[in-house]
């Protein structure tokens, strides 16, 4: 009797483990009856109506336990993912931090980093770690816009590492440093580290181009084009702590490091008061936004890659869910950051497992 009981328990745990580790192959698997897993038809229809009536989303997908439970729009088309690129770059760093090719404590002075405006001595002490957490204290203009540099204090007034500012100079420099230290091309590394092992369906290498005004800064932006359903694969990889099927694609410890708080939501809102209007309290890790100060257990420990116009990958570890959505820029449509935050909340409000 006892042996039978132990066998039943073992089988149950095995089934739970295997269910928790479902991955797509070349194509995503659809949950044929999401209602049985807590995604009721009425709530999903209400969410669909909200997307259509109140947003400019062009593609959205919700993944639960490795399967699609909700899909809207064109999830196959490749388009510009804006600042989600920064979170993708953070992922690429892991392999080379682990093998020692990238030393996060290396300073800009040691790297001999210079832009059109020479770095101040205090700025040269900023480390790679400071750069990828947006805490370099270097307030030079980036080669592209879309940041909070207008809110920066006077150059040289803060010690590197002590002050957070969302600055494209930092993020573009992070791309330059990655290529300098690894001797690898960012897009080749996306293909090697993500596209191939994750079996991305829609990747098009020819679309991936750096851009920016190099007369403003020497460091271009490394723009990225993904499809919504391929963005979801990145989210699932993060949810699975860097593991894809039987392969540890990203070091597990690096996934933890990326989403460890480097900047609290209180500091982020103090330095950029506009963030108080977003609708969620967001801290910052290594180029990933962290959802903080929430009473919603579904949002506990959640984190996001976010981009202008309405590009987003959000991971909800507590409920085994990934959300990915986008707004294709060529359509001249955009979603405000407030709309993005509402989508992050509403996407899991419709999940009721009990």
Domains in the chain (CATH in brackets) are 41-349 (3.40.710.10)
Segment 270-284 shows an average pLDDT of 96
What is the tens place of the pLDDT at every residue in 243-269? 999 999 999 999 999 999 999 999 999
Percent of the chain with pLDDT over 70: 94
When pLDDT is cut at 50, 70 and 90, the band that residue 291 belongs to is very high
Residues in CB range of 77: below 8 A, 6 or more apart: 58, 59, 202, 227, 228, 328
Residues in CB range of 299: below 8 A, 6 or more apart: 280, 291, 316, 318, 344, 345, 348
Percent of the chain with pLDDT over 90: 92
What is the tens place of the pLDDT at every residue in 106-132? 999 999 999 999 999 999 999 999 999
When pLDDT is cut at 50, 70 and 90, the band that residue 20 belongs to is low
User: Which pLDDT score is estimated for 330?
Assistant: 80
What is the tens place of the pLDDT at every residue in 229-242? 999 999 999 999 99
Q: Could you give the CA distance from residue 113 to residue 110 in angstroms, rounded to a whole number?
A: 8
Report which of 150, 94, 160 is spatially closest to residue 127, judged by C-alpha positions: 160
What is the tens place of the pLDDT at every residue in 64-113? 999 999 999 999 999 999 999 999 999 999 999 999 999 999 999 999 99
Q: Give the pTM.
A: 0.93
User: Which pLDDT score is estimated for 21?
Assistant: 87
When pLDDT is cut at 50, 70 and 90, the band that residue 10 belongs to is very low
When pLDDT is cut at 50, 70 and 90, the band that residue 5 belongs to is very low
Length reported for the chain: 354
On the question of pLDDT at 7 being above 80, the answer is: no
Segment 61-65 shows an average pLDDT of 98
On the question of pLDDT at 63 being above 50, the answer is: yes
Helix or strand run (H / E) with residue 23: none
User: Which pLDDT score is estimated for 16?
Assistant: 45
């Amino acid at each position: 009797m006892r042996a039978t009981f132990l066998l039943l328990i073992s089988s149950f745990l095995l089934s739970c483990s295997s269910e928790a580790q479902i991955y797509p192959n070349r194509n995503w698997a659809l949950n044929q009856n999401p209602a049985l897993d807590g995604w009721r038809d009425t709530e999903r229809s209400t969410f669909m109506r909200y997307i259509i009536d109140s947003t400019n989303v062009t593609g959205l997908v919700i993944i639960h336990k490795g399967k699609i439970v909700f899909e809207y729009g064109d999830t196959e088309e490749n388009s510009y993912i804006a600042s989600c690129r920064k979170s993708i770059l953070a992922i690429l760093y892991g392999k080379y931090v682990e093998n020692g090719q990238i030393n996060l404590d290396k300073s800009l002075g040691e790297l001999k980093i210079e832009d059109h405006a020479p770095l101040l001595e205090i700025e040269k002490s900023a480390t790679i770690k400071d750069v990828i957490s947006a805490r370099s204290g270097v307030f030079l203009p980036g080669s592209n816009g879309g940041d909070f540099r207008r809110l920066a204090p006077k150059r040289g007034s803060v010690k590197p590492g002590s002050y957070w500012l969302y600055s494209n100079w930092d993020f573009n420099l992070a791309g330059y440093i990655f290529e300098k230290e690894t001797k690898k091309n960012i897009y080749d590394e996306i293909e090697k580290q993500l596209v191939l092992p994750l079996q991305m369906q829609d990747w098009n290498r020819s679309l991936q181009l750096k851009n920016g005004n190099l007369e403003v800064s020497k460091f271009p932006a490394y723009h990225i084009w993904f499809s919504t359903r391929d963005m979801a694969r990145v989210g699932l990889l993060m949810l699975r702590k860097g593991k894809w099927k039987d392969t540890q694609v990203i070091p597990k410890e690096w996934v933890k490091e990326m989403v460890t708080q480097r900047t609290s939501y209180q500091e982020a809102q103090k330095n950029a008061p506009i963030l108080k209007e977003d609708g969620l309290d967001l801290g910052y890790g290594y180029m990933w936004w962290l959802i903080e100060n929430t009473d919603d257990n579904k949002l506990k420990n959640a984190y996001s890659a976010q981009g202008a116009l309405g590009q987003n990958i959000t991971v909800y570890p507590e409920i085994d869910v990934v959300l990915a959505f986008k707004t294709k820029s060529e359509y001249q449509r955009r979603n405000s950051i407030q709309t993005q935050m509402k989508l992050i909340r509403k996407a899991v409000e419709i999940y009721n497992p009990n």
